[in-house]
Amino acid sequence: MKSIRNIVECRDVTKIYDQGRVKVTALKAVSLEIERGGFIAVAGPSGSGKTTLLNIFGGLDVPDQGTVSVDGELLNDMSQSALAKLRLHKVGFVFQSYNLIPVLSAIENVEFCMLLQGVPAAERRRRARSMLDDVGLEDKYDRRPAELSGGQQQRVAVARAIVSNPVMVLADEPTANLDSKTGEGLLQLMREMNEDKGVTFIFSTHDKMVMDYARRLVVLRDGAVAEDAQR
């Protein structure tokens, strides 16, 4: 175990999307270390590689060059099913939109990952309840996603991401589809979870307000790290 402090270590990560004749270099030799307990924003204009970077951190995508390890495990050589297991047990995901399974109620969505992990039903229910209470949805257990507002849906997604105790939560533009007030509320919630429960958050954004919440700001430009500052 080289480093217990860093949850993600990536070295010289390059990702090239080959679309026939056109080759898009989404990430150019990115090297980053993400510390445990961090609250990190990955910022940059659209197309700068934020989503690609988060996907690689989360084991959804693999780099063409360079190495990535999560919680001490090297992702490069992992099989698809090993990556699926890593995502299930170590990473919480919050996406920009369409985060929830439409046929499941709020509480069932929160339970979903625990179900896949094999957590017993009673414990699943109990943990999902208290998690929904923590994100302020104590009266919305049985609502379907379609019956929740955008902000409430993202809160459910955050609850689902945190409830199974992952090493980090990756949130790709979690506020992009929310109005600024609701977005701010969501960030406050994430920040709270970070401070109270020590959950590591890595979120991408191109919104100045959102960046202001971060304790560390990594700025990407054309697939390369342009700036990396503690705040």
Ligand X SMILES: Nc1ncnc2c1ncn2[C@@H]1O[C@H](COP(=O)(O)OP(=O)(O)O)[C@@H](O)[C@H]1O
C-beta of 51 vs 153, nearer to Mg ion: 51
Rounded (5°) CA angle 60-66-69: 55
Residue 48 in the binding site for ligand X (CB under 6 A): yes
Per CB under 6 A, contacts with ligand X among 65-94 are: none
Binding mask 19-38 toward ligand X (x if CB under 6 A, else -) reads: x----x-x------------
Phi-psi region for residue 170, left (φ > 0), alpha (ψ -120 to 50) or beta?
A: beta
- Binding partner at 186 among Mg ion, ligand X, other proteins, none, C-beta below 5 to 8 Å by kind: none
State which of residues 52, 154, 175, 200 lies at the interface with ligand X (CB under 6 A). Answer: 52
Task: Give least dist CB 214 to other proteins, A.
Answer: 23
Task: Give least dist CB 206 to ligand X, A.
Answer: 8
C-beta of 28 vs 87, nearer to other proteins: 87
Residue 58 in the binding site for ligand X (CB under 6 A): no
DSSP secondary-structure letter at 63?
-
Task: Give least dist CB 161 to ligand X, A.
Answer: 19
CB 136 within 8 A of CB 159: no
CB 23 within 8 A of CB 51: no
Tokens of 6: 């860093």
Report the alpha-carbon distance of residue 231 to residue 121 in Å, rounded: 42
Task: Give least dist CB 17 to ligand X, A.
Answer: 3
Residue 47 in the binding site for ligand X (CB under 6 A): yes
Report the alpha-carbon distance of residue 154 to residue 186 in Å, rounded: 8
Across the strands, what pairs with 6?
35
- Binding partner at 132 among ligand X, Mg ion, other proteins, none, C-beta below 5 to 8 Å by kind: none
The counts of H helices and E strands in the chain are 7, 10
Binding residues for ligand X (CB under 6 A): 17, 19, 24, 26, 44, 46-52
